[in-house]
Amino acid sequence: MERNVKAQDKNLLVYEYIFNQNEVAQAEETAIKHVAERVDIPGFRKGRAPRYLIRMRYPETIKSEMLEVFWQKVTEEIGSSEEMLLSPILEDFEINENGAKLVVQIHKKPQLVIKPFEEFELKKVDKPSILESYVERRLKELQEFHAIIEPKEGAAEHGDMVRVKMTVTTDGKTIMNEKVNEYVLYKEDDRPIVTEVIGKKAGDTVEFDRDFGKEKVYHYKIEIEQVNKRTLLDISDELAKAVSSEYETLQQLKNDLEKEGSELYEKDMKEFLQNQAIDILSNESELLISERTLTELVERAFEKIKQDKEEYEKLLKDHDDDPEKLKEALRNYYLTDLKRTLSIEKIAQENDLNVTDEEVEAQAQDLAVAWGISVDRAKSILKSRQDISDDVRWELLKRKVADLILAKAKIVNVKPEELHKEEEKHEDK
């Protein structure tokens, strides 16, 4: 078997495989044998009919069997030498008495061009700005939490707290029956459960309908059991003492809130920078991929989606009932996903970054909290579920790649409002 490169476009190689007369004869012998074992010819036992008779009666079947023989040799050769993105595609097949030729498309994993990490610029939100807003927000939360609650006789006003019994029905079915709720009537809350209660007293009942779409109307019945006046403490030493007996002054409370905020900031900012590093890596990397490869990926995905009629119609509706727009969305998905995945793999390989089984198992503590199960149970799931273990391993590898980028990239401090403006620009694009 001889292999020649017929064409090349980035990751796409078109190979021409040539088989000589002897190889064709051997393939024909094998093909005839396989056909003879499957067909029944009157006057002959299965597998005993003369070769010329098999060749004469089943020429196309023999040709197909010979193609299978050649294809097996080709795929074995490709599998041992190429890292594939797609399975090989047969483009053309010719056979005659002088030999055989197969033209095969090979879609390899695309290469990437990645900028030096020193050229990456990441945004880090200014810590003092974050801490200032964090302390202010937490003080307001504590002020709300430690509000003085007193029953009142009059009508409910904004800022009051009410206790109600709520019943919700739809289509003649009761989905909530006299459930007791307590909530604050905030002025900025325009939901009917707030606006309809304003001006009502304990003992009053309000009813209204809400339409959430999908042709379903919900009927609400709210019985007001109690109206309470809320008095907020001033943000002062008085509030600090109400929060805990450990505090004598507001400054002491603020100091602890700053410490709490600082710890959260370091944790959240590290994660924020890691995600930002991976996003920039993906966006700034150049993917050397053939348009024919992208088209093949999109067409395969499109045909698979079409097999599920309900899913296809839903996705089509999301894209203005235009199949071409859906295909364009699939194309963008593959471009983004390939750039992200392959860039992470490339950096990990070039820098010998690996994730050990011990590192995966160590994540059981966090997973246990997230899943609401014991650590031992989380460890058991990681061992028994390869898909979950692989996902955890991939996330850990991403973090290692991100940390490598962070060690070399330029990191600039920005005010929160600057970052918001930057995000809005990207959203507009």
pLDDT in tens, 99-151: 999 999 999 999 999 999 999 999 999 899 899 999 999 999 999 999 999 99
Strand order in the sheet with 2-9: 2-9, 12-19, 99-107, 89-96
- For residues 197 and 260, is the Cβ–Cβ distance under 8 A? no
Same domain flag for 205 and 272: no
Q: Are strands 410-414 and 121-125 parallel, antiparallel or unpaired?
A: parallel
In DSSP terms, which residues pair with 102 in a beta bridge?
A: 17, 93
Give me the pLDDT at residue 44, please: 82
> CA 30 from chain center: how many Å?
48
Same domain flag for 105 and 20: yes
Whether 126 is in a domain gets the answer no
Return the sign of the alpha-carbon dihedral for residues 287, 292, 295, 300: negative
Whether 410 is in a domain gets the answer yes
- For residues 324 and 287, is the Cβ–Cβ distance under 8 A? no
Whether 133 is in a domain gets the answer no
Same domain flag for 280 and 420: yes
pLDDT tens-digit series, residues 321-376: 999 999 999 999 999 999 999 999 999 999 999 999 999 999 999 999 999 999 99
For 87, the domain range is 2-109
Query: Under the phi-then-psi rule, with left for phi > 0, alpha for psi from -120 to 50, and beta for the rest, what region is 174?
Result: beta
Whether 215 is in a domain gets the answer yes
Predicted structure pTM score: 0.75
Same domain flag for 226 and 255: no
pLDDT tens-digit series, residues 260-292: 999 999 999 999 999 999 999 999 999 999 999
Q: How many domains does the chain have?
A: 3
Closest alpha carbon to 264 in 87, 95, 131: 131
Domain-terminating residue out of 198, 231, 264: 231
Domain-terminating residue out of 109, 132, 161: 109
How long, in residues, is the chain? 429
Whether 79 is in a domain gets the answer yes
Kindly provide the b/e burial profile for residues 245-255, where b requires at least 16 CB atoms within 10 angstroms of the residue's own CB.
eebeebebbbe
**Domain CATH code at residue 410:** 1.10.3120.10
DSSP state for residue 236 in the 8-state scheme: T
pLDDT tens-digit series, residues 211-227: 887 678 999 999 999 99
Same domain flag for 388 and 256: yes
- For residues 261 and 131, is the Cβ–Cβ distance under 8 A? yes
- For residues 91 and 82, is the Cβ–Cβ distance under 8 A? no
CB atoms within 10 A of CB 238: 11
Whether 219 is in a domain gets the answer yes
Kindly indicate the confidence band of residue 428, based on its pLDDT and cuts at 50, 70 and 90: low
Per-residue pLDDT at 194 exceeds 60? yes
Whether 391 is in a domain gets the answer yes
Q: Which two tokens stand for residue 138?
A: 């937490």
Give me the pLDDT at residue 20, please: 94
